[in-house]
Amino acid sequence: MPKLKRGAFFVLLSVPIVVLGMAPLPAGASSHREAPLISQDATADNTDVYAYRHGANVVMVANYIGLEQPASGPNFHRFGDDVLYQIHIDNVGDGRSHVAFSFNFQTHNLNDPLGNDTFLYNFGPIKRVSGSPSVPGTNPYSGWLRPQTYSVTMSRQGGEDGEHADENSDEGQSGFKQDGLYTPPDAVGKTSTGSGAKYNHALTTAATYNIGPGSAIKVFAGQRDDPFFANLGGIFDFLTITGAKTGGEDYLNGLNVHSIVLEVPASMLTRGSDPVLGVWATASRRSETELHRNGTKTSSGDWIQVSRLGNPLINEVVIGQGQKDLFNASQPRQDSQFASRFTTPVLTAYIDALFGEKASTTGRDDLLKVLLQGHAALGNKPAGGSTLADELRLNTTTASGWPNGRTLTDDVVDTALEAFDGLTCGLASGPCTAGSLSSALGDGVPQDADNPTPDANFPYLNDPTQP
């Protein structure tokens, strides 16, 4: 399959492609377990964010709970009832959240039909019982003993308080709140949720909703096949990958993730005539948690952000270990504090050392422009300029492909490696030397091994892998 969506970078700099020799190379795993604190809190861990144009709409995907193994019973993975999940949109370029979609979940424990408080996730096959489309507030499934419902709030905000919307607040100007939505069940196995390895797709479509003004917004939240692909085993085995474009193993093959998917008319997100958006996702927890001797816990206090993600690989391979937790807790508008991690990138120094490259390791403001500001050459710079901020910047009127948004098939690992090896040096304000391999580096995994093609229909991510 040919590699897609890297054309934007190649407009900026043309360098010869050479044959890559055998040597180890550092890379990243998007945002799976990327920081010390969040590695202990998988339920709140952002793994990937996608945003891309789909006709007149924008599709936004925020993934959480990475590396989900099938057969995870008796307590299958689910969104946290005590976590506030949010997708943010900056339509100004100031690093602040001006449109926010907030998601709150609630799990329900039901007895089996015999009246037992059971260890089972379901009693017999889980079946779809609702019509199409599903109606909020009506359980679309039978046989599921641990259904999860959620609410979604769209709010338009700005200023210092724009990052966090309380789940009990009103919907804000030109916003809305929708309750009574259902996630689908996890992939349990052929008896419960499908036949063999194939998940019953009717369970997916039962959890897709049309909400908001004029029912113009599509929403889904639930388990999906993880569309991210990378040679994780080699990368983190002391950087044992060749750097070639093919030949590596996709270690996310067969693993699932929990996804929040929105499809929204671009006109509901953009401001004025500027088509550029900045998108990121967060997870927050209450500031106080009390554990009780009866095995329960309660949470109270303000929402505190514990995870955030805009562009892929930033906290993974750009931010140093001592600042990773700080990065997750901070806001995009504060990202100037991390600027030196981009202008003097450690990743580039490793590439130079391991491959004998001579790519510039200082003065790399080209990476600031591409990753933290957007750029006119990519078409994704806000009209009014932009604050240094890690946002997935998307021009809603042009073709999408990272770093202009991110589609479900973009090979972001290879593209990032090439950028740090100097593919974007043409944007630097001062002297900048590109490495001779800046069009040839890769982790050996060119596409998703188990589902290389996204589903044609909303929610676009493929059904989860079953045990």
Question: Two tokens at 126?
Answer: 């889980």
As a dihedral over the C-alpha atoms of residue 199, residue 48, residue 321, residue 162, rounded to 10 degrees, the angle is -130
Separation between Cα atoms, residue 241 and residue 351, nearest integer Å? 12
What mean pLDDT comes out for the span 210-232?
A: 96
Asked if the model's pLDDT at residue 288 lies above 50, the reply is yes
* String of DSSP letters for 146-209: S-EEEEEEEEE--STTTT---TTS---TT-EEEEEEEPPPP---HHHHEETTEE-HHHHHTT-E
Q: For 104-141, write each residue's pLDDT tens digit.
A: 999 999 999 999 999 999 999 999 998 888 899 999 99
Question: Two tokens at 459?
Answer: 């929610």
- Contacts of 123-129 with CB under 8 Å at 24 or more apart are 124/192, 125/191, 125/192, 125/193, 126/185, 126/188, 126/192, 126/193, 126/200, 126/203, 128/200, 128/202, 128/203, 128/205, 128/206
- The candidate with the shortest Cα–Cα distance to 100, out of 31, 169, 42, 185, is 169
Percent of the chain whose pLDDT exceeds 90: 79
What mean pLDDT comes out for the span 388-417?
A: 97
As a dihedral over the C-alpha atoms of residue 389, residue 166, residue 80, residue 119, rounded to 10 degrees, the angle is -170
Q: What is the pLDDT of residue 384?
A: 86
The answer to whether the CB of 279 falls within 8 A of the CB of 402 is no
Q: What is the pLDDT of residue 233?
A: 81
Asked if the model's pLDDT at residue 14 lies above 90, the reply is no
Q: What is the pLDDT of residue 115?
A: 96
Number of C-alpha atoms within 13 angstroms, CB side, residue 245? Answer: 15
Can you tell me whether residue 142 is helix, strand or coil?
Answer: strand
What mean pLDDT comes out for the span 1-23?
A: 36
Q: For 240-273, write each residue's pLDDT tens digit.
A: 767 789 999 999 999 999 999 999 999 999 999 9
- The candidate with the shortest Cα–Cα distance to 106, out of 77, 158, 70, 147, is 147
Question: Two tokens at 338?
Answer: 């991390």
Give Dmax (Cα) for the chain. 74
Q: What is the mean pLDDT of the chain?
A: 89
What mean pLDDT comes out for the span 462-467?
A: 96
What mean pLDDT comes out for the span 410-439?
A: 94
Separation between Cα atoms, residue 425 and residue 273, nearest integer Å? 30
Distances (CA, A) of 122 to 73, 118, 340, 358: 11, 9, 52, 58
Instruction: Categorize the per-residue pLDDT at 30 as very low, low, confident or very high, splitting at 50, 70 and 90.
Output: low
Contacts of 130 (CB under 8 A, 6+ apart): 138, 139, 140, 141, 206
Instruction: Categorize the per-residue pLDDT at 84 as very low, low, confident or very high, splitting at 50, 70 and 90.
Output: very high
Separation between Cα atoms, residue 123 and residue 113, nearest integer Å? 8
Percent of the chain whose pLDDT exceeds 70: 89
Burial (Cβ within 10 Å: 0-12, 13-18, ≥19) of residue 267 = exposed
The answer to whether the CB of 41 falls within 8 A of the CB of 242 is no
Instruction: Categorize the per-residue pLDDT at 26 as very low, low, confident or very high, splitting at 50, 70 and 90.
Output: very low
Q: What is the pLDDT of residue 25?
A: 36
- Number of separate helices (H) and strands (E) present in the chain: 9, 16
Burial (Cβ within 10 Å: 0-12, 13-18, ≥19) of residue 407 = buried
Instruction: Categorize the per-residue pLDDT at 6 as very low, low, confident or very high, splitting at 50, 70 and 90.
Output: very low
* String of DSSP letters for 22-35: S------BTBSS-S
As a dihedral over the C-alpha atoms of residue 299, residue 302, residue 304, residue 309, rounded to 10 degrees, the angle is 110
What mean pLDDT comes out for the span 280-296?
A: 97
Q: For 45-82, write each residue's pLDDT tens digit.
A: 999 999 999 999 999 999 999 999 999 999 999 999 99
Q: Which helix (DSSP H) or strand (DSSP E) does residue 351 occupy?
A: helix 346-355
Pairing label, strands 83-90, 99-107: antiparallel
Q: Residues 360, 362, 363, CA angle at the centre, nearest 5°?
A: 105
Contacts of 299 (CB under 8 A, 6+ apart): 82, 285, 286, 288, 289, 290
